[in-house]
A and B are shown apart, each in its own frame.
Chain A
Amino acid sequence: MNKVAIIGVGHTKFGKLEDKNLLDLLCDASLQAIENSNTNDKDFDAVYVSCMLAETLNHMTAIASAVVDRIGLIPAAADHVKNGPASGGSAIKNAFYSITSGACDMVLVVGAEKMTHITTPGLITSAVATLTHHNAERVHGVSLPSLAGMLTRTYMEKYNVPKEWITSIAVKNHKNGMNNPYAHFQKEITLEKALASPIIADPLRLYDICPISDGGAAMVLCSAEIAKKFCDTPILITGVGQATDTHIVYEREDLTVLKALQICSKQAYSMAKKTPEDIDVCEAHDAFTILEAIQSEDLGFFKKGEGAKAAYEGLTEIGGVIPINPSGGLKARGHPLGATGVAQVVELVWQLRGEAGKRQIEGAETGITCNFGGFGNNILSILVERM
């Protein structure tokens, strides 16, 4: 099995980008990654384009064909990868196996979403809710925030957790986002303000929930053998895992257990021959504060029921025992759906190269992601290391 290296990354500003359309975001991020990897004059074998709602929100199909045409990568193979908000993670997984198998040597992954031009109330919520189970959940008006609200209530009752422990995750992620020039929000918030923000899906409030964002992120991957020709600090992908769980959320025995994450992170750890104790930095999928708390448990960093407490006590801050979301996470960096899974790994690349500026985790050598493609029913975990 060939080893896989990331030799360059790109990341547009995330936020409300009025003068950029979906294709602009995909191409801007791609060209940055190509420039960053010194592969301007190289042919690519394959391009994986991640976007969740191109058809619904942008009336575009065949976006992978559009990207290779616009950035001059014809005749590279080009695929549009769709797996909900884990489309980015799935695109990276596809690129990874295309190289490990020996089929490809040079591959581009790019993810983006253009969302903020939609102004109809409820339309984005409704478009995202199409990923829930149609007959059991969606017809009843179940949205992603409502599932997160119910999960938060169950977790608080089961483990006797006060809401401020959970919401402290938003405060920490906003603090980290302050030092990320690409983040949607570069503004600190106080716990008092977050706990008093409008209720969206009781007990979840506005500041517990990620924003709707535009943005793109990209990376160039190649077989590790040739990586040093292009880049002094290649970052290896050494573990990839993916697993699924029941589509109907209430059909799980215990709502507060993300079985798919337990399985896919174990796959990633085992492929890389690592344990949770070896991880220096993590990028989690905090679409809602409760998710980061539970993910930190099912990734193996904390015991069940102790994730929110650990965050409240500062264990997941930069400088803590396991820093989570130094980028600001989905909460502050923003959540352009198709870009998120790629942006998570881009942040780990910057951290492992020592290029993360004021949010740098000193000496970070190993990182892991958690990328959600539904409400815990399709999850990817990607583990990266310094070469």
Chain B
Amino acid sequence: MSETTIVWKKCKKCRKLQHPDHLRCIQCKNTTFDTVKSSGDCKLLTYTILNAPPSEYRDKKSYTIGVVEYSNGLKAIGQIISSENLKIGMKLTSKFQKLTENLDGKEIFGITFKPT
């Protein structure tokens, strides 16, 4: 997976967009999917600044989590690399990158967003 592409699934039968973890469509139970890639740019739907991180993020005092929507209707959750001047509806760019290490020292990858 490239650093900036986020790959999702679209049901071949009912066209429902969904997270790649689903083995059967959450809407119609179909098992065949097309691959959908995010466009990189997205808009912020909601967010929170978390001041009490779980122990996997013990090295951080605080971080921001947000839910976004891409122009193709795909939604995603990730960390926003900023906690200031955030506004619902604002434009963000997204990236797939290393986020932290878990309690066993294994690298954890995920999605990050940055105001454009």
Contacts and interface: CB of A to CB of B under 8 A. Distances in A.
Interface of A: 120-123, 125-126, 129, 133, 135-137, 139-143, 145-146, 149-151, 153-154, 157, 198-204, 246, 248-251, 255
19 contacts: A122-B52, A122-B54, A122-B57, A133-B19, A135-B19, A139-B99, A140-B65, A140-B110, A141-B63, A143-B52, A143-B53, A143-B54, A145-B50, A146-B65, A150-B46, A153-B46, A201-B51, A250-B77, A255-B46
A250 B74 CA distance: 10
Contacts of B38: none
A149 B46 CA distance: 9
A202 B78 CA distance: 16
B23 interface: no
A194 B53 CA distance: 21
Query: Which of B49, B76, B99 has the most chain A CB within a 10 Å cutoff?
Result: B49
A44 to B, nearest CB: 39
Contacts, number: 109
A132 B75 CA distance: 17
Interface in B23-75: 26, 45-58, 63, 65-67, 75
Contacts of A248: 19, 21, 77
B88 interface: yes
Nearest to B52: A200
Given A122-B52, A139-B99, A150 B47 contact: yes
Contact of B54 (A141, A154, A203): A141
A141 B48 contact: no
B77 A142 contact: yes
A121 B58 contact: yes
B86 to A, nearest CB: 10
Contacts of B21: 133, 135-136, 248
Main secondary structure of the interface of A (DSSP, over half): mixed
A136 B19 contact: yes
Contacts of A251: 18-19, 26, 75
A298 B63 CA distance: 31
B14 interface: no
Nearest to A130: B54
Given A141-B99, A149-B50, 15 more contacts: A122-B58, A139-B99, A139-B109, A139-B110, A140-B111, A150-B66, A153-B88, A154-B46, A201-B49, A202-B50, A250-B45, A250-B76, A250-B77, A251-B18, A251-B19
B48 A202 contact: yes
A199 B49 contact: yes
A250 B55 contact: no
A149 B50 CA distance: 8
Contacts of A200: 50-52
